[in-house]
Amino acid sequence: MPYKTIIGLEIHSELLTDSKIFCDCSTEFGGDVNTHTCPVCLGLPGALPVLNKKVVEYGIKAGLAFNCEISERTKMDRKNYFYPDLVKGYQISQYDMPLCQNGYVEIETEDGVKKIRLRRIHIEEDTGKSIHSEDGGSLLDYNRSGVPLIEIVTEPDMNSPEEAKLFLEKLKSILQYIEVSDCKMEEGSLRCDVNINIVDEETGKRSTITELKNLNSFKAAVKAMEYEEERHKKLLEEGKDTRRETRRWDELKNETIVMRVKEEVSDYRYFPEPDIVEMEIDREWVEEIRKELPELPHVKKERFIEQYDLPEYDAEVLTSSKALADFFEETIRYFDDSKQVSNWIMGDISRRLNMENIGIEDVSFTAKDLADLLKLIDEGKISNKIGKKVLRAMFEEGKDPNTIVKEKGLIQISDEGELKKIVDKVLSENQQSVEDYKNGKDRALGFLVGQVMKATRGKANPQLANKLIRESIQ
């Protein structure tokens, strides 16, 4: 295979500041249209931007987490273009003096650790949103106008869609860890544009770069990149080339579709924003921010392996999201069998989260609730199987496990006398199976235990039931 894929990414991530980048308006998602607005974020004549210090702080935080150099001097610039959702006819962004430069993110590929270099991280404002009405008209909502963003630009260091996915996952996880962005792609708080092309390693011939935009999930991004990889190869093999164009992923057709062909490079006529003075970034401030950085995923993972004696895979999964890692550690505080806690989180809980496409932070029960559940199982008060049932109820009803067990009468029957009565009844009703067991068919025992469990609606202590049946038949 002489072809090598070259992928570079541009990621826009909304910052979690309370107010917008240049005014006091709320950044909260949702809200009635055009309610989080003021003269500044509506770009009314005469209104002026004042930079929110928190935005610079969050930008620096991201820069430090991604191993960037933090610029000593930085400024804002105007990027000029006309678009209805752009209120001033220009976006206030950063051009030649970005806040952060020359960083990297390490990803773990099958061939080991790989460094993906970051060219720059800069701060800028988001635009409003067009809403297309059914009668063909357009309505505009400017609640997002002026919400702070960081734009992260990588070097073209990824050589497969898989690497790009690993990078995106790592990036998202770090942004969430340092709590500068919630990275919700469905709410548009994380957006990713891809630049992709391929090079024929024998001849050195390169296909023209395609830009992929409007990718609304990592999955869509990966599919689009895989599609483009093949498309570029096919064209090169035919002796043709790709065009300089922007494409998007069509989920239904399972292919990328041309959005626009770039005939020439757009000229944004960047120039320094005269309404905001050039900034000097205080080194002491940067050091303070550095000190306050939380433990980052890879450090936490090593600690989990060490401290909780977890396999590498478990540690990787548990630290993939800060919320999940925090939940794990919180559970351990109340129930210290780390392997057991890990199994439950990685098993039933993760399955349920994936199914519902939510995060651990969205569930209605607490880490202490999970610990209580595991204690009930550990103490033999309920069986593992009943435990799973209780967990389901915790997801659905949000009650604590002790209440659920009490309300539903799920406490295990471990009283020999009580269980003996039920065993006797089951045996008398299933004479054939008793005979079978006597004739050496071991499977019959399983059936009989099952019948006892059924009669007790799962509450019988299975070990005890097993013992009592064997004793009765012999």
Partner 1 sequence: MDITKLTIHELRDMLRKGEISSEEIVKAYFDRIEETEAKLNSFISLNKEEAIKSAREIDKRLKNGEKLGDLAGIPVAIKDNIVTEGVKTTCGSKILENFVPPYDATVVKKLKDEGAIIVGKTNLDEFAMGSSTENSAYKTTKNPWDLERVPGGSSGGSASAVAAGQVPFALGSETGGSVRQPASFCGVVGLKPTYGLVSRYGLVAFASSLDQIGPFTKDVEDCAIALNSITGYDSKDSTSINREKIDYKEALVNDVKGLKIALPKEYFDDSIDAEVKNKVYEAIKVLEDLGATVEEVSLPHTEYALATYYIIAPSEASSNLARFDGVRYGNRVKDYDSVEDLFVKTRSQGFGEEVKRRIMVGTYALSSGYYDEYYRKAQRVRTLIKQDFEKVFENYDVIISPTTPTTAFKIGEKATDPVSMYLSDILTVSVNMAGICGMSIPCGYANDLPVGLQIIGNAFEEKKVLRVAYTYEQNSNFERKQPKIGE
Using CB under 8 A, list all residues that contact partner 1. 39, 42-51, 78, 80, 82-84, 87-90, 138, 140, 265, 267, 269-271, 274-277
Pick the closer one to partner 1 by CB: 205 or 269: 269
Chain positions 27 to 46 lying near Zn ion, rule: CB under 5 A, are 38, 40-41
Pick the closer one to Zn ion by CB: 34 or 217: 34
* In the complex, minimum distance from the CB of residue 259 to partner 1, in angstroms, rounded to a whole number: 16
DSSP string for residues in 391-442 = HHHHHHH---HHHHHHHHT---B--HHHHHHHHHHHHHH-HHHHHHHHTT-T
92 binds Zn ion (CB under 5 A): no
Q: Token digits for 289?
A: 């921010």
Cβ distance 145 to 37 under 8 Å? yes
Nearest partner of 104 among 150, 59, 154, 54, judged by Cα: 154
Pick the closer one to Zn ion by CB: 25 or 222: 25
Chain positions 343 to 382 lying near Zn ion, rule: CB under 5 A, are none
Cβ distance 399 to 393 under 8 Å? yes
Pick the closer one to partner 1 by CB: 43 or 59: 43
* In the complex, minimum distance from the CB of residue 180 to partner 1, in angstroms, rounded to a whole number: 23
* 25, interface contact from partner 1, Zn ion, none, CB < 5-8 Å by kind: Zn ion
- Number of Cβ within 10 Å of residue 96's Cβ equals 8
Which residue blocks in 178-296 are alpha helix, DSSP H? 218-237, 283-292
Cβ distance 353 to 316 under 8 Å? no
Pick the closer one to partner 1 by CB: 238 or 264: 264
DSSP string for residues in 285-318 = HHHHHHHHPPPPHHHHHHHHHHHH---HHHHHHH
Pick the closer one to partner 1 by CB: 87 or 363: 87
Q: Token digits for 415?
A: 């009283």
* In the complex, minimum distance from the CB of residue 99 to partner 1, in angstroms, rounded to a whole number: 17
Of 21-29, 52-60, 120-128, 132-140, the segment contacting Zn ion by CB under 5 A is 21-29
- Which of 23, 166, 286, 465 contacts Zn ion by CB under 5 A? 23
CA distance 300 to 320: 10
* 48, interface contact from partner 1, Zn ion, none, CB < 5-8 Å by kind: partner 1
Q: Which residues bind Zn ion (CB under 5 A)?
A: 23, 25, 38, 40-41
